[in-house]
Amino acid sequence: MKAVLRDKVFMRLLAQSGHDLPVLAQLTYEADDPYAVRVGFLHDGLLAAEWRLSREMLAEGMRGEVGIGDVRMWPHLNGSREELRIELLRSAVFTVWAPSLRKFLDRTYEEVPAGQERLELDAFLAEVLAAG
């Protein structure tokens, strides 16, 4: 079994009313799915929603604006606080403290270095076909 990395981070949902709402999120990286980081939004200890985001896109988003369509990311300086802003579905914008995300991403790249990602295509196809 390949490694699974998890970490909890606090994010903020930037509400249109101007009030930020704190959100607890769980980051998950599985070496079996090396291109993705899952971001699970938790509420009362339960998973309320989950998004699969590109690991590479998260890393690039901390350096400059990336993405089109449903997911966009860009770095933001909030006073002296380095943040990554993540826009989902052109309606919800979340922020995460960039150093905590960078630390998690560094761990994923230690597990599976960039350019060495591999997918087990037979297992993937079997899973897709089983799901119908």
CATH number, position 106: 2.30.31.20
Q: What is the pLDDT of residue 122?
A: 64
Calculate mean pLDDT across residues 8-34. 91
Q: What is the pLDDT of residue 123?
A: 67
CB under 8 Å to 80, separation ≥6 — which residues? none
> CA distances (Å), 100 to each of 7, 85, 97, in order?
9, 13, 6
Q: What is the pLDDT of residue 8?
A: 96
Indicate if the pLDDT at residue 4 is higher than 90: yes
pLDDT, tens only, 46-75: 888 999 999 999 999 999 999 988 999 999
Domain that holds residue 115: 4-131
The whole-model pTM stands at 0.84
Indicate if the pLDDT at residue 1 is higher than 70: no
Calculate mean pLDDT across residues 77-88. 95
Number of domains in the chain: 1
